[in-house]
Amino acid sequence: MRACRLHQPAAVETAPLRMEDVPVPEPGVGQVLIRVKACGICRTDLHVIEGELPPRRRPVTPGHQVVGEVVRAGSADCPLAPGARVGVAWLHSTCGACRFCRAGQENLCLYAGFTGYTQDGGFADYLLARQDFVYPIPEGFPDVQAAPLLCAGIIGYRCLRLSGIRPGDRLGLYGFGAAAHVAIQVAQHWGATVYACTRDERHRLLAIELGAAWAGGTTEKPPEELDAAIVFAPAGEIVPAALGALRYGGSLILGGIHMSTIPALDYDLLYHERSVKSVANNTRQDGREFLELAAAIPIHTQVRVFPLEEANEALDALKNDAFQGAGVLLVQA
């Protein structure tokens, strides 16, 4: 089978992913073999490929927004029939026994595995997944439109929940890529007014097209005080600007797995009970809730499709904000 393999972290401009012919893996107990149809590309993939996340597996096949179909299971009692259409997300596995798993916080599991990072991911014709960590894909979403829901959508949903927004609240979204273009649709469904802060004019236009009340530059102050804000861009210098836009008691959610250094903060930015919280991974419950909600709204993803052979070019385009919405690799039509 074909697989885009990373042997050594390097800048995406150097085309570090190599297309290789590797054996199709065999599912073990509790696993399913999935034929990949489409796989979204994500800034987390960039962080893995460029070494901003320390290497955990070498070589590794990146990709963690996978839509495909079950080929076969490694256990006779697997509830997933061959041909079932499923999605695979970032959280590959948890131990189920540590204090976080026992407390319903499996996203913080001390021994978690991650698709496309500690385990081979979806930039390939096939991948293995834990049968209890895959999601049924709702009908109505074509493969390439469904792929961004598996990370951009799920993480955006968790950010929104932790922000505590309510109907009538004002929400700021900092960075308007794949996650934000899904999150704005959920926020508006919940009755919030959205303000978008992003560096690229094309992304500001998309935000307005999707219903944002206002769109400005990354550190530009919105015309109204915000009840909550989410920073999706991996740029620490945004944090002071986002805090400065919050009302008293407002919440700031940091939605990335990696972020550049946050500058020193004046205490005045935190005073009056403004809060800052990071989002780490997701739980399976997040995924189930979000996919059900995405079908009910329904969410519409805007995607740019690349063939698997152009994975390096696709990631370079993502790094340079060369497209609106989300990028997706079409693995098998």
Q: Which tens digits make up the pLDDT trace of 170-209?
A: 999 999 999 999 999 999 999 999 999 999 999 999 999 9
Same domain, yes or no, for 187 and 245? yes
User: What is the pLDDT, as a whole number, of residue 118?
Assistant: 98
User: What is the pLDDT, as a whole number, of residue 186?
Assistant: 98
pTM of the model: 0.95
User: What is the pLDDT, as a whole number, of residue 237?
Assistant: 96
How remote is the C-alpha of 68 from its chain's centroid?
A: 17
User: What is the pLDDT, as a whole number, of residue 106?
Assistant: 98
CA–CA separation, 242 vs 21, rounded Å?
Answer: 46
- Closest C-alpha among 15, 134, 1, 7 to residue 66: 134
Structural domain span for residue 48:
2-148+283-330
User: What is the pLDDT, as a whole number, of residue 274?
Assistant: 97
Same domain, yes or no, for 218 and 293? no
Do the Cβ atoms of 326 and 302 come closer than 8 Å?
A: yes
Owner of token pair 């929940």: 161
157 half-sphere exposure, CB direction, 13 A CA radius: 22
Do the Cβ atoms of 215 and 204 come closer than 8 Å?
A: yes
Domain of residue 306, CATH code: 3.90.180.10
Q: Which tens digits make up the pLDDT trace of 30-57?
A: 999 999 999 999 999 999 999 999 999 9
User: What is the pLDDT, as a whole number, of residue 286?
Assistant: 97
Same domain, yes or no, for 123 and 162? no
Same domain, yes or no, for 116 and 86? yes
Residues sharing a CB contact under 8 Å with residue 306, sequence separation 6 or more, in sequence order = 41, 313, 314, 317, 327, 328, 329, 330
What residues are paired with 130 via a beta bridge?
31
Q: Is 37 helix (H, G, I), strand (E, B) or coil?
A: strand
Q: Which tens digits make up the pLDDT trace of 57-81?
A: 999 999 999 999 999 999 999 999 9
**Residues above pLDDT 90, as percent of the chain:** 99
User: What is the pLDDT, as a whole number, of residue 201?
Assistant: 93
Q: Which tens digits make up the pLDDT trace of 240-250?
A: 999 999 999 99
Tell me which of 211 and 332 has the higher pLDDT.
211
User: What is the pLDDT, as a whole number, of residue 211?
Assistant: 97
Q: Which tens digits make up the pLDDT trace of 113-126?
A: 999 999 999 999 99
CA–CA separation, 192 vs 296, rounded Å?
Answer: 17
CA–CA separation, 222 vs 216, rounded Å?
Answer: 7
Mean pLDDT value of segment 223-242: 97
CA–CA separation, 284 vs 87, rounded Å?
Answer: 12
Q: Is 39 helix (H, G, I), strand (E, B) or coil?
A: strand
Q: Which tens digits make up the pLDDT trace of 141-181?
A: 999 999 999 999 999 999 999 999 999 999 999 999 999 99
Q: Which tens digits make up the pLDDT trace of 267-312?
A: 999 999 999 999 999 999 999 999 999 999 999 999 999 999 999 9
User: Residue 175 has what DSSP assignment?
Assistant: S
Asked whether the predicted pLDDT for residue 333 surpasses 80, the reply is: no
Domain total in the chain: 2
Domain boundary among 235, 262, 278: 278
Same domain, yes or no, for 46 and 180? no
Same domain, yes or no, for 20 and 73? yes
Domain of residue 187, CATH code: 3.40.50.720
CA–CA separation, 103 vs 98, rounded Å?
Answer: 9
Tell me the average pLDDT of the chain. Answer: 97
What residues are paired with 285 via a beta bridge?
none
When computed from its CA atoms, the radius of gyration of the chain, rounded to whole angstroms, is 19
Domain boundary among 256, 278, 300: 278
User: What is the pLDDT, as a whole number, of residue 95?
Assistant: 97
Same domain, yes or no, for 289 and 203? no
Same domain, yes or no, for 125 and 230? no
